[in-house]
């Protein structure tokens, strides 16, 4: 099927002033290739601060002014330029933002949902969408500060799906929601996907992501280090990259064991594998060579020594 | 030491619907890790705000060792870590200036939570959610602090960082015999870190 979103070799750089007038270019996303097909839910998981939200903002054309984008983003076959993104976002492409600060604090949430329109049809649609997420109509008369975390989250989701978009970029839609509400929302995402929408589901909650995703992209320090199917996570022996294994081991329902160290800062690693500092199996070659994104066992991995399959 | 909510009733002003908490009681002992669990909108965050002294209960009392919370000197020994770190910091202050209001950070904490020196000259909007949360955690762990109220503190962190933070926090709580109240929707996390789990009762009226 023709992908609805096709990102090819995208890199994002930030220009920062280091000291005085010395400028430097920080690579925050490097060589990212990713496709979303209609009806597909692609989960993006990975380290905090690895550029997952930036990916969302890049797709919507919302990157800040000091950023620079290389490579291509194709939406529905055509390049997604800044002006095209601006015309499509909120209509065909919609974002479920990460923070509840994206709500206007001075406007009642009902008015924000309806975008100021007051005709009967819009009101009816807003009422229906609120109901769908288990919020009453009385909620529409509240200001954002009067909502609980989970309620604000559901308002953000309701606002994003109101116009039945074709591509949804969900940036961490589930924290603050209890298991039942989260399941309900994921069920609704599935419905939207079955209706032909493509979805990029950015999350930390691996457990939850695995219940709906068709494909999982694992991010680390601005790179996709592994592309795996949801089934690969069911048997840990099938995962390919040591960081993906570490994620799996750190699940609270699993071993709950962290690995030492932290993700390097953008620009801190200039050569070799960014995971080298935390990798238990790092060798000399890893720190020097460019790491290719290679096909291994039906998925892809960016590692010179991918894990062997064990049963 | 004991942190106690005794028969606390609380309702937000202007809402005629009924109390968020109705004669609710809870005790957290030093060294204990209590998990708090309830569907969203039930009042978990409200309970934390009450326990930390941000709100006063309409009836009932919040007691620390049998004494009201507000008699506890300049630094409140009960600290709350918020669900959304980006709203818990002044957006117009650099992190270093925020820190200057409460005194510095211990080197040990900086190292354990991977807090870089460079962050202090940045604004909150320049750091990621996970970084801000680690900063907020370090800020809350002052030596005077006896109780930490953790309101979904790791929901925005990746699993490896979540495990790192919790292993650190558990060790810290063990060593300093801190009492923790842990709010989370993640049942497996609560089962992992808590010594007991409390569920907020269904209110006599429906919130939403």
For A119-135, the pLDDT digits (tens) are 888 888 888 888 888 88
- Taking alpha carbons only, the member of B69, B45, B57, B63 closest to residue B19 is B57
pLDDT digit string, tens, across residues A37-63: 999 999 999 887 788 888 999 999 989
Q: In angstroms, rounded to a whole number, what is the distance separating the alpha carbons of residues A184 and A187?
A: 5
Band (pLDDT 50/70/90 cuts) for residue A84 is very high
Quote the tokens at residue A164.
Answer: 């039945």
DSSP assignments along chain B, one per residue: -EEEEEEEEE--TT-TT--SEEEEEEEEETT-EEEEE--TTSSHHHHHHHHTTSS--SEEEEEETTEEGGGS-SS-SEEEE-S-HHHHS-TTS-HHHHHHTT----HHHHHHTT--GGGGGS-GGGS-HHHHHHHHHHHH--TT--EEEEESTTTTS-HHHHHHHHHHHHHHHHHHT-EEEEE-S-HHHHHHH-SEEEEPPPPSS---
Q: Under an 8 A CB cutoff, do B159 and A253 touch? A: no
Beta bridge partners of A120: none
Q: Under an 8 A CB cutoff, do B84 and A250 touch? A: no
| Closest chain B C-alpha to A200 CA, distance in angstroms | 17
Asked if A272 and A305 count as a contact pair (C-beta separation under 8 A), the reply is no
B204 to chain A, any CB pair closer than 8 A? The answer is no
Quote the tokens at residue B16.
Answer: 């005629």
Q: What is the pLDDT of residue B17?
A: 67
Q: Which residues of A touch B86 (CB under 8 A)?
A: 99, 101
| Closest chain B C-alpha to A25 CA, distance in angstroms | 16
pLDDT digit string, tens, across residues A162-211: 888 999 999 988 877 778 888 888 888 898 899 899 999 998 888 888 98
Nearest to A206 among B40, B159, B193 (CB): B159
Regions of chain B short of the pLDDT cut 50: 206-208
User: What pTM value is reported for the model?
Assistant: 0.82
- Taking alpha carbons only, the member of B50, B126, B161, A47 closest to residue B137 is B161
Beta bridge partners of A73: A7
Q: What is the pLDDT of residue B15?
A: 62
Q: What is the pLDDT of residue B179?
A: 94
| Closest chain A C-alpha to B144 CA, distance in angstroms | 28
> Under CATH, domain A5-92+165-310 is a member of which superfamily?
P-loop containing nucleotide triphosphate hydrolases (3.40.50.300)
pLDDT digit string, tens, across residues A298-307: 889 999 988 7
Q: Which residues of A touch B159 (CB under 8 A)?
A: 204, 206, 247, 250-251
A216 backbone dihedrals φ, ψ, rounded to 5°:
-120, 125
Q: Under an 8 A CB cutoff, do A136 and B129 touch? A: no
Distance of CA A246 to the CA centre of its chain: 19
Q: Under an 8 A CB cutoff, do A148 and B45 touch? A: yes
Averaged over A76-94, what is the pLDDT? 90
How many beta-carbon pairs below 8 A join chains A and B? 118
Output b/e per residue, B68-83; b: 16+ Cβ within 10 A.
ebeebeeebbbbbbbb
B129 to chain A, any CB pair closer than 8 A? The answer is yes
Tell me which residue has tokens 């009201």.
B68
Distance of CA A77 to the CA centre of its chain: 21
To the nearest whole percent, how much of chain B has pLDDT over 90? 39
Quote the tokens at residue B51.
Answer: 């326990």
Q: Is B55 exposed, middle or buried (0-12, 13-18, 19+ CB in 10 A)?
A: middle
B45 to chain A, any CB pair closer than 8 A? The answer is yes
To the nearest whole percent, how much of chain B has pLDDT over 70? 95
């Amino acid at each position: 099927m023709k992908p609805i979103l096709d990102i090819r070799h995208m890199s994002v750089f930030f220009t920062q002033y280091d000291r005085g007038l010395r400028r430097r270019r920080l690579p925050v996303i490097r060589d990212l290739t990713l496709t979303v097909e209609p009806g597909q839910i692609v989960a993006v998981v990975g380290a905090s601060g690895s550029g997952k939200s930036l990916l969302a903002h890049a797709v919507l054309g919302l990157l800040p002014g000091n950023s620079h984008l290389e490579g291509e983003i194709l939406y529905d076959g055509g390049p997604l330029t800044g002006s095209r993104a601006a015309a499509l976002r909120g209509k065909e492409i919609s974002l479920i933002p990460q923070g509840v600060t994206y709500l206007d604090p001075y406007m009642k949430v009902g008015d924000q949902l309806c975008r100021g329109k007051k005709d009967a049809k819009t009101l009816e649609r807003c009422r229906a969408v609120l109901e769908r997420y288990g919020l009453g109509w009385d909620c529409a008369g509240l200001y954002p500060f009067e909502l609980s975390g989970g309620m604000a989250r559901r308002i953000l989701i309701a606002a994003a799906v109101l116009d039945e978009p074709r591509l949804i970029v969900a940036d961490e839609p589930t924290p603050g929601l209890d298991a039942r509400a989260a399941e309900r929302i994921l069920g609704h995402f599935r419905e939207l996907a079955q209706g032909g929408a493509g979805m990029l589901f950015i999350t930390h909650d691996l457990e939850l992501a695995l219940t709906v995703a068709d494909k999982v992209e694992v991010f680390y320090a601005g790179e996709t280090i592994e592309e795996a199917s949801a089934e690969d996570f069911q048997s840990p022996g099938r995962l390919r990259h040591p960081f993906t294994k570490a994620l799996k081991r750190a699940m609270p329902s699993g071993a709950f064991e962290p690995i030492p160290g932290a993700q390097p800062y953008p620009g801190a690693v200039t050569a070799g594998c960014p995971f080298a500092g935390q990798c238990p199996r790092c060798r000399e070659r890893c720190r020097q060579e460019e790491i290719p994104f290679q096909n291994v066992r039906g998925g892809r991995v960016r590692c010179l020594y991918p894990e062997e399959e064990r049963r | 030491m004991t942190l106690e909510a005794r028969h606390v009733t609380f309702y937000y002003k202007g809402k005629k619907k009924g109390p968020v908490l109705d004669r609710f009681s809870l005790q957290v002992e030093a060294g204990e890790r209590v998990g708090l669990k309830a569907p969203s909108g039930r009042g978990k965050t409200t309970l934390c705000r009450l326990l930390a002294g941000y709100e006063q209960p309409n009836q009932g009392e919040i007691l620390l060792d049998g004494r009201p919370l507000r008699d506890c000197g300049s630094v409140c020994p009960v600290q709350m870590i918020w669900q959304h770190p980006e709203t818990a910091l002044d957006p117009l202050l650099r992190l270093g200036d925020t820190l200057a209001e409460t005194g510095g950070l211990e080197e040990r904490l900086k190292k354990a939570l991977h807090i870089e020196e460079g962050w202090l000259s940045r604004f909150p909007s320049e750091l990621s959610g996970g970084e801000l949360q680690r900063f907020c955690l370090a800020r809350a762990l002052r030596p005077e602090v006896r109780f930490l109220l953790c309101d979904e503190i790791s929901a925005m962190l990746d699993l490896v960082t979540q495990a790192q933070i919790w292993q650190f926090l558990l060790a810290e709580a063990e060593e300093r015999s801190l009492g923790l109240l842990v709010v989370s929707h993640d049942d497996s996390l609560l089962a992992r870190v808590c010594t007991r789990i409390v569920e907020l009762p269904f209110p006599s009226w429906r919130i939403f």
